[in-house]
Amino acid sequence: MTAIKMVDPGQNEFLAGLEAKSKRPSHFFRTMANRPEVLQNFVPLYGAIAGPGSVERRTKELVYLACSFANECAYCTAAHVASGKKAGITPEEMEAIQTEQDHGFSQPERAAIQYARELTRTADAADTRAALLEHFNDEQVVEITLVAAMANFTNRFNNGLGMQPEA
């Protein structure tokens, strides 16, 4: 497979700043930097969706992982296994999400995971939306939907370009 060129941080000040903050190179950002204006707008959008909000960080990570496992996105799975651990998700829980054994999660978490999985597979989630609304208010349902949509965006970007996690 022919690889898409990764932009050198020396050629993009915004990219250089991102990597300086994280103290590590990012294939994702270096690839997205082929469209510098998209990278500059993506970062604050991602932060607004995945950052602090009305939904707990743990739930957001469960949603992101459910989408990434469903899409078999190695890049996002690697990133969100790491951030999921920081949010308190155990290795056993990660395996449960991957194998769709959701019974060990709380009812709200299970509703969010199942909604994210269905939204990923059908782009509709009509069968799981009502269960989600039993546990979350409108703002939170929108936030969970945005997290799932962002996960599906990044999954498709990475899978479409054959991106693999950094070693």
Any idea of the CA torsion for 44, 45, 51, 55, to the nearest 10 degrees? 160
Report the amino acid identity of residue 89.
I
Distance CA 149, CA 72 (A): 15
The full set of domain ranges for the chain reads: 9-50, 57-160
d(CA 9, CA 26): 10
Name residue 47's amino acid: G
CB 30 within 8 A of CB 15: yes
3-class DSSP assignment, residue 34 = coil
* Statement: 57-160 belongs to CATH 1.20.1290.10: yes
User: Is the distance from CB of 141 to CB of 51 less than 8 angstroms?
Assistant: no
Whether the CB-CB separation of 84 and 61 falls below 8 Å is answered with: yes
Give me the tens of pLDDT residue by residue for the chain, a chain 167 residues long: 457 899 999 999 999 999 999 898 999 999 999 999 999 999 999 999 999 999 999 999 999 999 999 999 999 999 999 999 999 999 999 999 999 999 999 999 999 999 999 999 999 999 999 999 999 999 999 999 999 999 999 999 999 999 988 87
Question: What is the rounded distance in angstroms from the CA atom of residue 72 to the CA atom of residue 85?
Answer: 19
Q: Give the number of other CB atoms < 10 A from CB of residue 6.
A: 18
Looking at the whole model, is its pTM more than 0.85?
Answer: yes
